[in-house]
Amino acid sequence: MKKGIRGRLTFILLTVFVSILFFLPSTPLYSKLPSWWGRIFPSKGITLGLDLQGGMHLVLEVEGEKAVDNTVERAFGALKGSLESKNLAVQSIRREGRDILLSFAPENKEAISKMVTEEYPNLTTKQSGSGEMVLTLRDSEVKRILESSTSQALETIRNRIDQFGVTEPLIQKQGANQILVQLPGVKDPQRAIELIGRTALLEFKLVDDENPISRQLPPQIEADQEATILQELKDKIPPGDQILFERDVNKETGKVTKRPFLVRGQAALSGDLLSDARVSIGQFNEPYVAITFDPVGAKLFEKVTEENRRHRLAIVLDNNVYSAPVIQEKIGGGRAQISGSFTTQQANDLAIVLRAGALPAPVKIIQNVTVGPSLGQDSIEKGLMAGAVGTLLVVLFMAFYYRFSGLVADFTLVLNMILLIGALAALNATLTLPGIAGIILTIGMAVDSNVLIFERIREELRAGKPVRLAVNAGYDKAFLTIVDSHVTTLITAFVLFIFGTGPIKGFAVTLSLGVIINLFTSLVGTKVVYDLINSRGKVERLSI
Q: What is the three-class DSSP state of 238?
A: coil
> What CATH number did the domain enclosing 72 receive?
3.30.70
* Closest to 524 in 3D by CA, of 420, 415, 427: 415
Residue 133: domain span: 65-141
pTM of the complete model beyond 0.85: no
Higher pLDDT, 70 or 309: 309
Q: What is the three-class DSSP state of 169?
A: coil
Cβ burial of 129 (10 Å; 0-12, 13-18, 19+) is exposed
Cβ atoms 489, 515 nearer than 8 A? yes
**Which of 350, 370, 390 marks a domain boundary?**
370
**Which of 330, 350, 370 marks a domain boundary?**
370
pLDDT higher than 80, residue 88: no
Kindly state whether residue 540 falls inside one of the protein's structural domains.
no
Mean predicted confidence (pLDDT) in 310-325: 85
Mean predicted confidence (pLDDT) in 220-240: 83
Strand 202-206 relative to strand 170-174, pairing: unpaired
**CA dihedral sign of residues 399, 405, 407, 408:** negative
DSSP H or E run through 149: helix 139-164
In whole angstroms, give the CA distance from residue 9 to residue 353: 54
Cβ atoms 327, 225 nearer than 8 A? no
Q: Residues 266, 206: one domain?
A: yes
Q: How confident is the model at residue 167 (pLDDT cuts 50, 70, 90)?
A: low
pLDDT at res. 289: 85
Q: How confident is the model at residue 477 (pLDDT cuts 50, 70, 90)?
A: confident
Instruction: Give 109-154 pLDDT, tens digit per residue.
Output: 888 888 888 888 888 888 888 888 888 888 888 888 888 888 888 8
Q: Residues 278, 266: one domain?
A: yes
Query: Number of C-alpha atoms within 13 angstroms, CB side, residue 282?
Result: 16
Q: Residues 356, 208: one domain?
A: yes
Q: How confident is the model at residue 495 (pLDDT cuts 50, 70, 90)?
A: confident
Least confident window among 25-34, 229-238, 400-409 = 25-34
Q: Residues 454, 340: one domain?
A: no
In whole angstroms, give the CA distance from residue 340 to residue 247: 8
Please give the tally of structural domains in the chain.
3
Cβ atoms 383, 375 nearer than 8 A? no
Instruction: Give 10-55 pLDDT, tens digit per residue.
Output: 888 898 898 888 888 888 787 777 777 777 777 777 777 777 777 7
DSSP H or E run through 470: helix 467-499
pLDDT at res. 542: 76
Q: Residues 364, 235: one domain?
A: yes
pLDDT higher than 60, residue 375: no
Q: Residues 229, 244: one domain?
A: yes
Q: How far apart are the first and last CA of the chain?
A: 24
Instruction: Give 252-288 pLDDT, tens digit per residue.
Output: 777 888 889 999 887 888 777 788 888 888 777 788 8
